[in-house]
Structure formats: C-alpha cells, structure tokens
Chain A
Amino acid sequence: SQQGEEDPQALSIQEGENATMNCSYKTSINNLQWYRQNSGRGLVHLILIRSNEREKHSGRLRVTLDTSKKSSSLLITASRAADTASYFCATGNRDDKIIFGKGTRLHILP
C-alpha cells in the first residue's frame, strides 16, 4: 500500500521556472527521500531528509519536511529540459524498506 501521495500528479512548466511538488504521508517516519525516474529507466535517489530536519538543499533541489502536517515538498529551481521526469517521495522507518508514492510527472517546456 502507498504511504506517500504526491501532488500534483502532473506538472508542466516553462524552462527556467521553479517546480514544486508535494508529498503527504500517513504514519510516523524516520526519514523521507525523493527519487527521480526518467522514462524507461530505474529510479535514482536525489535527497534524503531525516525526521528531525526541516529543510535540506542539494544543488538546485530544496526539500522541506513538516512532520506535524506529515508533508514534504521538493522544489527544483531554474528548471531545465533534463529535469523532465517522474518524481517520487518515499518514506522510511526503522526497518530497511521504503514505501513509494505514485509520483509526479514533471514536464519542462522549452
């Protein structure tokens, strides 16, 4: 069963604009991750934020986590055509498995 739910399901923006995707989850977590999947490929880990962290940056990526609202957001600044992909949040707890949401399909328009 899905733990995370991404919003929106699909997003189209102009190149150079910022893209924001949101993730909501139901139960307590130890960490939350974001992954990217290009068409026809496997998922690639982007960033992990722990439950005691509120914000994390990696290059053009900014992730926030609000454990009181059980939600996270992924911001991609200055989007590029190569950012076109599906983005998934995944929640982790004490065991080794992570549970993925259904993803947001991001399309960067030239």
Chain B
Amino acid sequence: DAGVIQSPRHEVTEMGQEVTLRCKPISGHNSLFWYRQTMMRGLELLIYFNNNVPIDDSGMPEDRFSAKMPNASFSTLKIQPSEPRDSAVYFCASSFRQVKNIQYFGAGTRLSVL
C-alpha cells in the first residue's frame, strides 16, 4: 500500500494567493483528518471527515480555510486568500474506523506564504 499521499510536498506562494493542498487517503479508510503543525502551536486538528462527510471543523481557523472530500479517495484543503501566518506544515491522516483512533499520516505539505 502506498500510504497517505499528499501533494505538493512544498508550496511557496505570495500573500493573497489561493493555495490548494491535496490528499489521497489509504484505500479502504473511512476517516480523514487535516492537521496543521507549527513550532508555536504544535499539531492542531483542523477538520475531519467520516465517510466523506465533515464531522468536526471547529479547528478551522477562519473562513479563509475550507476543506472538501468529494469522494473516498480524495480531499482538498484550500486557503484563500493566504496570509504569512498560514505558513506551516499541513498533514493529512486517514484511519479505519473499525480500528479506532489509529491514524496514518502523509508526509505533509510545507507551506510558505511570503
């Protein structure tokens, strides 16, 4: 199995631009999570989906952030407009609900907003 696949691995953009991060979960997993990691705040859960339905988006910082999961094999996290304080590493993770709580992480997307 290829594991959780995230793209791009690195993204450098200018303030005000739209950024789209992509995630392909492990086949057969039915929960998907988006996290943001910074030195100051650690690893924060932004949003998670069960069976493609958003369950908890209370961690999404503000309306500039949105996430979708149109099908079981693809999810996006979009930031528009981006700001320098959005610079962080964004991780996607997936899990199989029947093996509760154990999550498998992608390699992350390092976002730099200039």
| Chain A residues, Cβ within 8 Å of B103 | 43, 45, 98
| Residues A83-109 near B (CB distance < 8 A) | 88, 92, 95-103
| B42→A33 contact, CB < 8 A | no
Q: For the complex, is B66 an interface residue (Cβ under 8 Å from A)?
A: no
Q: Of B48, B101, B105, which is within 8 A of A33 by CB?
A: B101
| Chain B residues, Cβ within 8 Å of A99 | 45
| A45→B104 contact, CB < 8 A | yes
B contacts with A, residue count (CB < 8 A): 23
> Chain A CB within 10 Å — which of B31, B42, B107 has the most?
B42
Q: Of A45, A96, A98, which is within 8 A of B50 by CB?
A: A96
Q: How large is the interface on A (under 10, 10 to 19, 20 to 34, 35 or more residues)?
A: 20 to 34
Q: For the complex, is B100 an interface residue (Cβ under 8 Å from A)?
A: yes
Within the complex, the shortest CB–CB distance from A12 to chain B, in Å, comes to 19
Give Cα distance in the complex from A100 to B101, angstroms.
Answer: 12
| Chain A residues, Cβ within 8 Å of B101 | 30-31, 33, 48, 92, 96, 98
| B106→A96 contact, CB < 8 A | no
Give Cα distance in the complex from A48 to B102, angstroms.
Answer: 8
| B107→A96 contact, CB < 8 A | no
Q: For the complex, is A2 an interface residue (Cβ under 8 Å from B)?
A: yes
| B43→A42 contact, CB < 8 A | no
Select from chain B the residue with minimum beta-carbon distance to A4: B42
Within the complex, the shortest CB–CB distance from B30 to chain A, in Å, comes to 9
Give Cα distance in the complex from A92 to B48, angstroms.
Answer: 14
| Residues B31-45 near A (CB distance < 8 A) | 31, 33, 42-43, 45
| A96→B95 contact, CB < 8 A | yes
Q: Residues of A with Cβ closer than 8 Å to B?
A: 2, 30-31, 33, 41-45, 48, 88, 92, 95-103
Q: Residues of B with Cβ closer than 8 Å to A?
A: 4, 31, 33, 42-43, 45, 48, 50, 55-56, 91, 93, 95, 97, 100-108
